[in-house]
Each structure stands twice: as structure tokens, then as C-alpha cells.
Copies of this chain bind each other. A is one copy, B any other.
């Protein structure tokens, strides 16, 4: 598994605040500034623990599932999170058309469907039908 998280720091933003927003979703990720973007990479599954937990807490697994499957191509899935919402510790998927820009998350895995089954399992009456570990 390869995870890459990227967020361009816009002129009116504070780098530390953008960093804090990313850390709410990916607390263990080390971030560096490359040009004007904060970038973090990881190959450890634990990097996804908090995202997994938030999708469950917020009960948005079904919509997360459809966003992730829709935005996957081959063995790569790329989606965007609203960084203002991330700042307060919540997950919100976005189209990314904002001038401030989103947090861009790219995941590369041999088995996308299994990863999505792990992060955002199908639910029935609000409960996962089947839980898998990746």
C-alpha cells in the first residue's frame, strides 16, 4: 500500500493550520513542504486507522464507498477531502473545485476493492455486512 497526501498551502493560509487539518485525518503522517505544498507519504496500513475510524463514527461509509469506487482507476484511488472540515476532525469528500484547494489523497494498492471493503464496508441498517482487514 502506498498513501500520498497533498495539500497546497494558499497565500492566505497558515502552514501550521493546513498541517493541523491533515493531521486530524492522518495523525501519524510526516509532512514536508515541497514548493508550496504539504506532502506526506506512507506505506504503513496504520496511516489509515484514523480515516477508517472517522468514516465509521460519522456513519458515512456508504457515501465514502461510492466516492472511492467511482474515483478509482486500475490500482489507484484518488479522492479529495475538504480541509476546512478536516480541521475540525471530520471527513467530508469534495469535488476539489475550490480556489483554496482540498486535501488530495492518493492510494495505490494491489486490490482496490478489498481496501474499500476495509475502509468503507457495505452496510445494512447502518451496520457493516462483513468486516475485512486489509
Q: Which residues of A contact B (CB under 8 A)?
A: 10-14, 17-18, 20-21, 82-84, 87-88, 94, 97-100
Contact = CB atoms under 8 A, between A and B. Distances in A.
Contacts of A20: 12
Contacts of A97: 97
Count copies of this chain in the complex: 2
18 contacts: A10-B84, A10-B100, A11-B88, A12-B13, A12-B18, A12-B20, A12-B21, A12-B84, A12-B87, A12-B100, A13-B13, A14-B14, A82-B99, A84-B99, A94-B99, A97-B97, A98-B100, A99-B100
- DSSP class of A's interface residues: helix, strand, loop or mixed? loop
- The list of the 7 closest CB pairs from A to B, nearest first, reads A100-B100, A14-B14, A11-B87, A12-B17, A98-B98, A98-B99, A12-B18
- Count chain B CB atoms within 10 A of each CB in A13, A17, A21, A82 and give the residue with the most: A13
Contacts of A100: 10, 12, 84, 98-100
